[in-house]
Chain A
Amino acid sequence: MDIILELLSWGLLAVGAIFLIIGGIGMVRLPDVFARMHGAGIIDTMGVGAVLSGLMIQGGMSIVTIKLILILVFIVFTSPTATHALARAALHGGVRPRNNEAPEEDTSQGGSSSKT
């Protein structure tokens, strides 16, 4: 049982690390702001989520785990909101996504980017 938990935790950490790097590369390589938000989204959700879950399994049932859950909940709440505010600001500020479609569609893209 312990072995399984241990393996699970290491696996989650590894997955998280890989996703973090993927997100980082995405943030550098993607062409414009709205696309880069997807990279940041990967960092915020898969990366952080997996790493923190792995740490939670390591921590066991204690105050540590509760704090980690709190951190995770805050990040899950705040980072999509922040990305949403940012996308809105960018759209208001006149930055358009590269494919030059209608702005309404772009709004939905910008908003949903944080959920991916």
Chain B
Amino acid sequence: MGFMAVIGFAVARLRNLFAVVMLTGIFSLTAAVLYVLLDAVDVAFTEAAVGAGISTVLMLGTLALTSSEERVESTGGSRWALVLVVVTGAILVYGTFDMPAFGDPTAAIHHHVAPYYLEKSGQEIGLPNVVTSVLASYRGYDTLGEVFVIFTAAIGVLLIIGRPQFGRRRSHRMLVGELHESMRTNVILRVVSKLLIPVILLFALYVQWHGDFGPGGGFQAGVIFASGFILYALIFDIDTARTMIPARVTRIFLCLGVLLYTGVGIAGFFMGGNFLNYSVLAATPVSGQHLGILLVEFGVGLTVAAAMISIFFTFARQEH
């Protein structure tokens, strides 16, 4: 915990935006360790997949497109900002005196629906990973909403900066660099990456389908899958990677994932259940739940992977 506070302060003080991005990377790693210590394996998994790879790459992409140095100035307002922050913090600290102590099993949060999930999901859904069953089945609506948010964000990015740049010089320079000297010519990197990329993709599939039993699931798998392609695009270049997986394909998969999720929900209607009720999908409720969760997670994975890939390529193809 102490680490995080220190890094937070450092981020606040440093002016060089590049250093800030590096520190954000460490910050996210620390956060993931903290999640592990607090038993949140799935959350740590997601943070691992997101924080170390994608978010750093996106931040760097933005820095490459804008400037990497913050303007130095002496703001008069920052003293007031500090006062405001300290006052707000003091009020919040005062508020914590009513909070239950750390790890207290009698806290209010543990007495509503959580025991029900923990006790019943074993019989009703039959999956060992409670997080997955809550995510995909009990809280199916929430997750559907989140998937739509990701979908919308990807569309937003595409709309804002993904326009085709007619009449402008199409130089893809963000991470591609000067091609003749780029990483493409670097034998060591190329060989190791060629070895690694299939493993990363395979591991993403493992996370996707094994998410019912251990930590993992659609969100994590999607991000890892996208990371594989991002590595490819970094080592070779954006255009080669784009011919591997054209914009058309990512767009289709982006929609297909969301449609698969809603489709599974609507299929429940026709089989005589409620929206997103998987129990009716197969002969027995438990196997129906299995099938439903598997399909839904696959939909989530598709959308997340496609969204991340298209966001990355949109950033990478910008002009300087």
A32 CA to B186 CA, complexed, in Å: 24
A115 CA to B183 CA, complexed, in Å: 21
Stretch of B122-130, B188-196, B268-276 lying at the A interface = B188-196
A85 touches B189 (CB 8 A): yes
- Chain A residue contacts of B192, Cβ below 8 A: 77-78, 81
- Chain A residue contacts of B186, Cβ below 8 A: 85, 88
Q: Does A84 contact B (CB under 8 A)?
A: yes
B188 touches A78 (CB 8 A): no
A78 touches B196 (CB 8 A): yes
A85 touches B183 (CB 8 A): yes
A77 touches B189 (CB 8 A): no
Closest A-chain residue to B193, C-beta based? A81
Closest B-chain residue to A92, C-beta based? B181
Q: Fill in one digit per residue for A71-96: 1 if any B CB lies within 8 Å of its CB, else 0.
A: 00010011001001100100000000
- Chain A residue contacts of B188, Cβ below 8 A: 81, 84
Nearest-Cβ distance from residue B270 to partner chain A, whole angstroms: 40
Q: Fill in one digit per residue for B163-185: 1 if any A CB lies within 8 Å of its CB, else 0.
A: 00000000000000000000100
Closest B-chain residue to A88, C-beta based? B186
Nearest-Cβ distance from residue B207 to partner chain A, whole angstroms: 13
Q: Fill in one digit per residue for A11-48: 1 if any B CB lies within 8 Å of its CB, else 0.
A: 00000000000000000000000000000000000000
A74 CA to B199 CA, complexed, in Å: 10
Closest A-chain residue to B195, C-beta based? A77
A74 CA to B186 CA, complexed, in Å: 20
Closest A-chain residue to B203, C-beta based? A70
CB within 8 Å of A: which B184-218 residues: 186, 188-189, 192, 195-196, 199
Interface set of B (CB-CB < 8 Å, partner A): 183, 186, 188-189, 192, 195-196, 199
A84 CA to B193 CA, complexed, in Å: 13
- Chain B residue contacts of A88, Cβ below 8 A: 186
- Chain B residue contacts of A77, Cβ below 8 A: 192, 195-196
A67 CA to B142 CA, complexed, in Å: 33
User: A74-B199, A78-B196, A81-B192 provided; 5 other pairs, C-beta below 8 A?
Assistant: A77-B196, A81-B188, A81-B189, A84-B189, A85-B189
Nearest-Cβ distance from residue B293 to partner chain A, whole angstroms: 23
- Chain B residue contacts of A74, Cβ below 8 A: 196, 199
A87 CA to B195 CA, complexed, in Å: 21
A7 CA to B156 CA, complexed, in Å: 58
- Chain B residue contacts of A81, Cβ below 8 A: 188-189, 192
A77 CA to B188 CA, complexed, in Å: 10
**13 A-B contacts (beta carbon < 8 Å):** A74-B196, A77-B192, A77-B195, A77-B196, A78-B192, A78-B196, A81-B188, A81-B189, A81-B192, A84-B188, A84-B189, A85-B183, A85-B186
Nearest-Cβ distance from residue A107 to partner chain B, whole angstroms: 12
A77 CA to B195 CA, complexed, in Å: 9
A64 CA to B199 CA, complexed, in Å: 18
A81 CA to B199 CA, complexed, in Å: 16
- Chain B residue contacts of A84, Cβ below 8 A: 188-189
- Chain A residue contacts of B196, Cβ below 8 A: 74, 77-78
A105 CA to B7 CA, complexed, in Å: 37
Closest B-chain residue to A89, C-beta based? B183
- Chain A residue contacts of B189, Cβ below 8 A: 81, 84-85
